[in-house]
Amino acid sequence: MTAVEWQETRGKLAQQKRWVIKIGSALLTDDGRGLNLAGMQGWVDQIAGLLAQGHEVVLVSSGSVAAGMTRLGWSSRPDEVCKLQAAAAVGQMGLVQAYETAFAGHGRATAQILLTHDDLSDRKRYLNARSTLRTLLSLGVVPVINENDTVVTDEIRFGDNDTLGALVANLVEADVLVILTDQLGLFTADPRSNPDAELIVQGRAADPQYMAMAGGAGSLGRGGMITKVKAARLAARSGADTVIVGGRIDNVLTRLRAGELIGTMLVPDDEPDAARKQWIAGHLQTHGELVLDAGAVKALRESGRSLLPIGVVAANGRFERGQVVACRDEQGNLVAKGLVNYSQVDAQKIVRTPTKGIEAALGYIAEPEIIHRDNLVVL
């Protein structure tokens, strides 16, 4: 790949609306001495700038265990899980307090979201997390996400927040995942032990050579570069680019947006839209079906609209909210697949119903659409 091609790819960042930004322990904890408040203020100022330019930002932030250790006066990381969980609970307070204060200076509200693996593997909770995050973004709020360390056990933890960042990028279908860390990016070998290692500027997330180059963590972080390269691969599944970059670089986020060639950019093999659709279509089985009238088929096929209950004539089979259903025309041809917002029982009650009639029919309204267009793959 040539320098001109690199530059072209970086130029896309300014147009990429939805960013997930992950800030790692190695940066946040000021080498173990509590939270790096000055650093946090700097990233928040830059994120506020991104928001003002029309971007949406989800922040995935580590730092709870390290912040908790300082608050509790512990100088070394304990081995016992219960102590780590206690430290996380104490430290998370300081972490969100620091973000809330820093964002308030820009007139922005923040929202704390603590997730576990179960939240993302259970369909219903997955869909709820997704719609809450989308709502927060539409309100201009900055979600601040961390793993719910207090309730997870070793077997089920993400452990590192790189993986969590990538799954969040899948969840919100982000355009780009930015991983801020303590090195300038991915090097051909761990620069701590290989001073001659060279920075990778750009490559394909799926390229196996990057896994071979990546080593483990420094003293504070959990995952090292291996989990960052894996995260880039995961993020690519829903079409997101990943940039691994030094969080201590002056104005790092602003400069990334301006297209500067800093850090390492790892891109998906497929076009983002194709990857995103494949992801929705491929990672879930279909459970039941919705039968669409001709107007709804046209709205989906020709105008890329969401599917509203008014255009649905029947809901067949057994499905729950959050499962994938097949959408067929009245002749039985497959038109689309998508994540449905209502169970079969409720969907059947609102067929042919205008949006304003949903509440009267069900006694509640989950979403105005039966399938949102972001969750729909037209085939």
Ligand X SMILES: Nc1ncnc2c1ncn2[C@@H]1O[C@H](COP(=O)(O)OP(=O)(O)O)[C@@H](O)[C@H]1O
**Closest separation between CB of residue 137 and ligand X, Å?**
24
Q: Given the complex with ligand X, which of 223 and 311 has the nearer CB atom? A: 223
Which residue's structure tokens are 């995935």? 60
Burial of 41 by CB count in 10 Å (0-12 exposed, 13-18 middle, 19+ buried)?
Answer: middle
Question: Binding site annotation covers 22?
Answer: yes
**Closest separation between CB of residue 360 and ligand VHF, Å?**
44
Q: With binding defined as CB under 6 A, does residue 221 bind ligand VHF? A: yes
DSSP 237-251: HTT-EEEEEETTSTT
Helices (H) and strands (E) in the chain, counts: 15, 13
In the list 36, 46, 62, 70, the residue contacting ligand VHF (rule: CB under 6 A) is 62
Q: Given the complex with ligand X, which of 178 and 327 has the nearer CB atom? A: 178
Dihedral of alpha carbons 122, 125, 131, 134, sign = negative
**Closest separation between CB of residue 37 and ligand X, Å?**
17
Q: Given the complex with ligand X, which of 119 and 190 has the nearer CB atom? A: 190
5-34 residues near ligand VHF, rule: CB under 6 A? 24-25
Tokens of 33: 């001495």
Question: Binding site annotation covers 181?
Answer: yes
Q: From ligand X, ligand VHF, none, which one binds at residue 289 (CB under 5 to 8 Å depending on kind)?
A: none
Please name which of 319, 338, 229, 326 lies closest in space to residue 279, comparing C-alpha atoms: 338
Q: From ligand VHF, ligand X, none, which one binds at residue 120 (CB under 5 to 8 Å depending on kind)?
A: none
Residue 335: strand, helix, or coil: strand
Q: Given the complex with ligand X, which of 36 and 85 has the nearer CB atom? A: 36
Return d(Cα 201, Cα 28) in angstroms, integer.
24
Q: Given the complex with ligand X, which of 34 and 218 has the nearer CB atom? A: 218
Q: From ligand VHF, ligand X, none, which one binds at residue 190 (CB under 5 to 8 Å depending on kind)?
A: ligand X
Residue 31 has phi, psi (to 5 degrees) of 50, 40
Q: Are 247 and 181 in contact (CB under 8 A)?
A: yes
325 forms bridges with which residues in the sheet?
A: 338
Residue 185 has phi, psi (to 5 degrees) of 160, -160
# chain residues binding ligand VHF, by CB under 6 A: 17
Question: Binding site annotation covers 62?
Answer: yes
Angle, in degrees to the nearest 10, between helices 37-52 and 81-104: 50
Q: Given the complex with ligand VHF, which of 63 and 288 has the nearer CB atom? A: 63
Q: With binding defined as CB under 6 A, does residue 182 bind ligand VHF? A: no
Q: From ligand VHF, ligand X, none, which one binds at residue 183 (CB under 5 to 8 Å depending on kind)?
A: ligand X
| Footprint on this chain of ligand X (rule: CB under 6 A) | 24-27, 181-183, 186-187, 189-192, 213-215, 217-218, 221-225
Q: With binding defined as CB under 6 A, does residue 36 bind ligand VHF? A: no
DSSP 29-88: TTTTSS--HHHHHHHHHHHHHHHHTT-EEEEEE--HHHHHHHHTT--S--S-HHHHHHHH
Please name which of 138, 142, 147, 144 lies closest in space to residue 119, comparing C-alpha atoms: 147
Which residue's structure tokens are 């990778």? 200
Q: With binding defined as CB under 6 A, does residue 247 bind ligand VHF? A: no
Q: Given the complex with ligand X, which of 132 and 219 has the nearer CB atom? A: 219
64-83 residues near ligand VHF, rule: CB under 6 A? 64-66
Q: From ligand VHF, ligand X, none, which one binds at residue 64 (CB under 5 to 8 Å depending on kind)?
A: ligand VHF
Which residue's structure tokens are 């969907």? 347
**Closest separation between CB of residue 131 and ligand X, Å?**
29
Dihedral of alpha carbons 297, 301, 302, 306, sign = positive
Residue numbers at the binding site for ligand VHF (CB under 6 A): 24-25, 62-66, 88, 146-147, 149, 160-162, 221-223
Binding residue ranges: 22, 62, 149, 161, 181-182
Binding residue ranges for ATP: 22, 181-182
